[in-house]
Amino acid sequence: MKADEKIKYIFVFENKGKEVGTTMPHPHGQIYGYSKMPFRLRLELENTKNYYEKTGKNLFDQMYTDEKNVAKEWFLKTNILRYTSHFFANIHSVHTL
């Protein structure tokens, strides 16, 4: 597939039984080669490239850092650290960054 210039996107996945529609009883991998990259992935790739060209930073690294900093500020502002880890593990579903 790599040598075929018509292939623009390779999708590798593991098929795991009847839940995904396979008739084989055991997990097995599959590889698909497409002549076009899916729109959402192409858009994501273009946006991350544009971000890097403008800032010199990796967008995903920056998102991770920003989210970590927001979470840290939120925890400090709400004194959430005084709660038990059981409660702490469940609050992520109600907090949006």
Task: Return the amino acid letter for 77.
Answer: K
Give CA–CA dist 44/34, Å, rounded. 18
Give CA–CA dist 85/97, Å, rounded. 20
- Both tokens of 62, joined, read 């920056």
Give CA–CA dist 68/61, Å, rounded. 11
- Residue 91 is given by DSSP the state G
Residues labelled as active-site residues:
28
